[in-house]
Structure formats: C-alpha cells, structure tokens
C-alpha cells in the first residue's frame, strides 16, 4: 500500500514537468526567462562538472552552505531551547522578555544584513548571524508552547514525590515539551535554510555557497543555473526536514 501511495505522489510532479517541457518546446514559455526542465537539468550537470565560477563545483557550494546553516541552527537551538524552557516556566520572566521577543521577531532577517556586515564583516560570521535570527524565534516560541502544554498535574505530582525545580525541568517539562521543541526545530531549520541565500548575498570570502552561486548565475544571465540552484536548495531543505522527522520518531519512541 505504501509503495502504491509513493508512486501516486510522483504522478503530479511528472505531469507538471512534462507539461512544462512541452510548453517550452513549442515556444509558449520564453527560454531566456523560463528555461525548460531539460535546460535546467543540463545546467545542473554543468554546475556539478564545471562549476560556477569555474572549478567551484556544486558539491562544494552545498557543503559550504550546509556549514553556514548548521552554525546558525546549532547556536539558535542551544540558546533558544533553555531560554524557552525558562520563559515557559516563569511568568515573571515571560512578562519581561515576551514584549522584546514580539518586537524583534517580526523584523525579517534581511533587514539585519547591514548591521550584520557592520558588526561581523563580510564572511562566515555575518552569514551565520542572519541564519541564527531565522532559526531562533520559531524554536523559542515552540519551546514555550511545549512547556505550557505539559499537564500541571504531572509537575505537582513530581514535586509531591520530592523533585526539586531542576528535576522538574529535566524529568517532566523537557520530555513533555519535546514534541513541540522538535516542531520548532523543523520550522527553524526551514526558515534558516530559506534565509541562506540572503545570508550569502552579504558576501562570502571563500567564493563558495549556493546563494553566492545563484547570485553569480544572475550576474552572467544564466536563469537555468539560477533555477538549478533554487531546486538544489529545495532538495537539501527537504532532506534536512526528513532527517529531523526521522530523528524525532527515534527520540520519541519511549512515548509509544
């Protein structure tokens, strides 16, 4: 049944690609603006073999981008989860910090680019900072929501059995809020990966990065390479989300 369902999932994308290729072949879609799937695939092969700029191959672009995303995501998770746990537990601290969070949260990461360059210069640190901002707030808010979702009876029962505040955190609140934390991690990873291109637009000293590659393709007017880079970002983002979903199932096996 699962195999049949998986086959059905590929039917619509396949029809869409065939229709796209047909419209490109008969000239309905201008190739200079909307390249055909064939030209995009050819550009993908070219990026893998030749690279853009020359010798800067796609695999290395992806590796450098993953390092930047991983840096911003890990820093965000390490800071956001404990911070969210504390705010979810303490109404006093929540009343102090929630207005600040709600003030900063709506500011798009793109708006921070000038300050990121001013504070950290052009390179890895500024890119990681932009990605960190994209990841941080979803993780914090999901963690707070997870703490609030834990039944207060469980907390009271733990205290009755002699648990101190630290034990309540580690043995009751953290396990109970784990599903919400994972949801925040998935959302944060998705937003962090989305901000990657903008983060790499700030400039990369190494000359590597999928966002940097897309910007270079734009400069030389290669929309086929731009779309190949965009599809690469989508595929890697999908794989990362799939990894998080599978790790969530493994981590929550104890609940079954």
CA distance 59 to 48: 7
Q: Per the domain annotation, does 23 fall within a domain?
A: no
pLDDT at site 224: 92
pLDDT at site 256: 53
Q: Using an 8 Å Cβ cutoff, are 131 and 188 in contact?
A: no
Helices (H), 90-222: 91-104, 113-120, 124-149, 152-160, 165-168, 174-176, 178-194, 196-201, 210-219
The C-alpha angle 178, 181, 183, rounded to 5 degrees, equals: 115
Contacts 24+ apart (CB under 8 A), 40-43: 40/224, 40/227, 40/228, 40/231, 41/228, 42/224, 43/222, 43/224, 43/225, 43/227, 43/228
Q: Using an 8 Å Cβ cutoff, are 172 and 109 in contact?
A: no
Helix 2-9, helix 11-25: angle, nearest 10: 20
Q: What is the pLDDT along the chain (256 residues), one digit of tens a residue?
A: 455 555 566 788 888 889 988 888 888 888 778 898 999 999 999 999 988 887 889 999 999 999 999 999 999 999 999 999 899 888 899 999 999 999 998 988 888 888 888 888 887 888 899 999 999 999 999 999 988 888 878 877 887 777 777 878 877 888 888 888 888 999 999 888 888 877 887 656 667 888 888 888 988 889 999 999 999 998 998 898 888 888 877 766 655 5
pLDDT at site 87: 92
Residue 46 contacts by C-beta under 8 Å, 6 or more apart in sequence?
52, 225
pLDDT at site 89: 85
Residue 39 contacts by C-beta under 8 Å, 6 or more apart in sequence?
24, 31, 224
**pTM for the complete prediction?**
0.84
Q: Say which residue the tokens 């790790």 belong to.
A: 247
Q: Which two tokens stand for residue 148?
A: 């609030």
pLDDT at site 196: 82
Q: Per the domain annotation, does 37 fall within a domain?
A: no
Domain at 152, CATH number = 1.10.3720.10
Q: Using an 8 Å Cβ cutoff, are 71 and 120 in contact?
A: no
Range of the domain at 157: 57-255
pLDDT at site 169: 80
pLDDT at site 144: 92
Q: Per the domain annotation, does 65 fall within a domain?
A: yes
pLDDT at site 226: 92
Q: Per the domain annotation, does 51 fall within a domain?
A: no
Q: Per the domain annotation, does 24 fall within a domain?
A: no
Q: Using an 8 Å Cβ cutoff, are 97 and 156 in contact?
A: no
Question: What is the three-class DSSP state of 209?
Answer: coil
Q: Using an 8 Å Cβ cutoff, are 162 and 139 in contact?
A: no
Q: Per the domain annotation, does 31 fall within a domain?
A: no
Q: Per the domain annotation, does 19 fall within a domain?
A: no
Q: Per the domain annotation, does 188 fall within a domain?
A: yes
Q: What's the total number of domains in the chain?
A: 1
Q: What does the longest C-alpha to C-alpha distance in the chain come to?
A: 76
pLDDT at site 158: 80
């Amino acid at each position: 049944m699962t195999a049949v369902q998986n086959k059905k999932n590929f039917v619509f994308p396949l029809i869409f690609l065939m229709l796209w290729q047909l419209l490109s072949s008969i000239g309905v879609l201008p190739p200079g603006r909307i390249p055909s799937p064939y030209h995009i695939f050819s550009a993908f092969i070219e990026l893998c073999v030749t690279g853009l700029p020359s010798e800067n191959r796609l695999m290395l672009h992806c590796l450098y981008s993953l390092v930047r995303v991983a840096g911003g995501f890990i820093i965000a998770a390490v800071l956001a989860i404990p911070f969210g746990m504390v705010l979810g537990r303490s109404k006093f601290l929540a009343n102090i910090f929630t207005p600040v969070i709600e003030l900063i949260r709506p500011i798009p990461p793109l708006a921070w680019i000038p300050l990121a360059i001013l504070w950290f210069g052009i390179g890895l640190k500024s890119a990681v900072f932009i990605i960190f901002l994209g990841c941080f707030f979803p993780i914090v808010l999901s963690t707070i929501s997870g703490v609030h979702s834990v039944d207060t009876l469980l907390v009271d029962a733990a205290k009755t059995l002699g648990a101190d505040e630290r034990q309540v955190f580690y043995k009751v609140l953290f396990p109970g809020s784990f599903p919400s934390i994972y949801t925040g991690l998935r959302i944060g990873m998705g937003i962090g990966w989305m901000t990657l291109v903008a983060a790499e637009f700030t400039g990369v000293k190494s000359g590597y990065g999928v966002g940097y590659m897309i910007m270079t393709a734009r400069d030389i007017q290669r929309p086929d390479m731009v779309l190949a880079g965009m599809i690469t970002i989508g595929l890697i983002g999908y794989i990362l989300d799939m990894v998080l979903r599978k790790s969530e199932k493994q981590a929550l096996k104890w609940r079954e």
